[in-house]
């Protein structure tokens, strides 16, 4: 089985898959570069935002693999976690939303400040747009570096489609991939959903993916 970079070369695409098959394009370049500049950040607080499946978790895993630290799901944050993080310099809080204990989040921010640690928070939308009830917490969100992963451009869509197909051991002609790119929403989740859909139709029909199967998936 060819590597993703070999497949991209077959299609005359640049070899932009970096750490652990993370494809760097215009949409995520700033975020990728920023996490790799640690600890030379302007602030100790970083918020990585982007829609579901945009690669936020992949990026923080790359960061933790390189620089070490601890990762906690925001929904699981509790007082015990606040004790566990003490030995770590880098803390990642995943998937921050309104369904959290705001006082615990505020306490976490204070720990980061007091102990000169680094905090990365991932969220679907920028942290400043999350309508926290605690005024002090809302104020503290202004202290974050903001790294937003934008919707994918054509190049990144091509790479993500190719990666999803490769993961399923499916090979498609470039013209079919280009056809898909022009017709599906410019969204990370929609890319994953569409590849799942055409694979499912292909398996049911016991036929290779072609224009007919792609059009059928587009109509559903």
Sorted by where each begins, the domain ranges of the chain are 29-148, 152-219
Which among 184, 196, 135 is positioned nearest to 158, based on CA atoms? 184
More confident residue, 20 or 197: 197
Q: What are the structure tokens assigned to 191, written together?
A: 């890319």
115-159 pLDDT, tens digit each:
999 999 999 999 999 999 999 999 999 999 999 999 999 989 998
pTM passes above 0.75: yes
Q: What is the pLDDT of residue 1?
A: 37
| Mean pLDDT of the chain, nearest integer | 90
pLDDT at 20: 59
- pLDDT-derived band at 169 (thresholds 50, 70, 90) equals confident
Q: What pLDDT, on the 0 to 100 scale, is given for residue 19?
A: 55
Alpha carbon distance 215, 220 (integer Å):
9
pLDDT in tens, 79-104: 999 999 999 999 999 999 888 999 99
Task: Please report the pLDDT score of residue 167 as a whole number.
Answer: 82
Number of helices (H) and strands (E) in the chain: give both, helices first.
Answer: 10, 5
Q: Which residue, 41, 210, 9, is CA-closest to 116? A: 41
pLDDT at 23: 84
Q: What is the token pair recorded at 129?
A: 């747009």
Q: How far apart are CA 194 and CA 101, in angstroms?
A: 36
Fold (topology level) of 152-219 = Helicase, Ruva Protein; domain 3 (1.10.8)
Q: What is the tens place of the pLDDT at every residue in 41-80? A: 999 999 999 999 999 999 999 999 999 999 999 999 999 9
Q: What is the pLDDT of residue 121?
A: 99
CATH number for the segment(s) 29-148: 3.40.50.300
List % helix, strand, coil for the chain (3-state, nearest 5). Answer: 50, 10, 35
Residue 218 has pLDDT above 60, yes or no: yes
């Amino acid at each position: 089985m060819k590597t993703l970079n070999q497949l991209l070369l077959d299609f005359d695409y640049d070899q932009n898959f970096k750490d652990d098959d993370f494809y760097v394009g215009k949409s995520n370049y700033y975020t990728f570069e920023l996490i790799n500049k640690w600890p030379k950040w302007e602030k100790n607080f970083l918020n990585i935002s982007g829609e579901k499946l945009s690669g936020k978790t992949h990026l923080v895993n790359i960061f933790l693999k390189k620089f070490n630290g601890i990762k906690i799901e925001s929904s699981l944050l509790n007082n015990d976690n606040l004790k566990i993080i003490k030995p770590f310099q880098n803390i990642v809080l995943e998937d921050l939303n309104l369904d959290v204990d705001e006082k615990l989040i505020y306490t976490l921010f204070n720990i980061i400040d007091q102990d000169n640690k680094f905090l990365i928070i991932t969220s679907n939308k920028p942290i400043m747009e999350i309508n926290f009830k605690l005024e002090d917490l809302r104020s503290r969100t202004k202290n974050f570096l903001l790294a937003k992963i934008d919707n994918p451009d054509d190049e990144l869509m091509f790479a993500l489609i190719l990666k999803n197909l490769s993961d399923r051991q499916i090979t498609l002609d470039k013209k079919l991939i280009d056809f898909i790119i022009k017709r599906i929403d410019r969204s990370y989740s929609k890319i994953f959903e569409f590849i799942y859909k055409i694979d499912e139709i292909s398996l049911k029909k016991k036929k290779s993916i072609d224009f007919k199967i792609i059009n059928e998936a587009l109509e559903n």
